[in-house]
A = this chain, B = another copy of it.
């Protein structure tokens, strides 16, 4: 886990709009088009390819970041494991965030690189 100084949520600040999902709800499906990525604020999500769980993510983790790279379809499905609160980040918001907290850019890039290097599916 990252320490507090590194927290995506601290970098995000308190003003960002969030979205709530109930346990079991689908956030997006493999094949959906998508232009935003998500920071998990509370609860846990499951990243699925078909029925296989690729990863489980909790607070202060991100998913869907491939949307920043290309606008291809989602390569996995994400389902709320518990009730969750996520902050959706569009490209426009991302650019705003990195202008104000440039370290955000490095953090997202590190997550992306680690996912791609570990050959998890980057969603």
**Which residues of A line the B interface, CB within 8 A?**
66, 68-70, 91, 94-96, 98-100, 102-103, 105-106, 108-110, 112-114, 116-117, 122
Contacts and interface: CB of A to CB of B under 8 A. Distances in A.
Contacts of A117: 116
Instruction: Quickly give the copy total for this chain.
Output: 2
A94 B106 contact: yes
The 6 A-B residue pairs whose C-beta atoms are closest, nearest first, are A105-B105, A116-B116, A95-B102, A69-B113, A98-B102, A99-B102
Contact of A95 (B106, B113, B114): B106
Given A95-B103, A99-B98, A102-B95, A68 B109 contact: yes
A107 to B, nearest CB: 11
A81 to B, nearest CB: 27
A113 B112 CA distance: 8
Given A98-B98, A99-B99, A91 B106 contact: yes
Contact of A68 (B69, B94, B98, B106): B106
Nearest to A108: B109
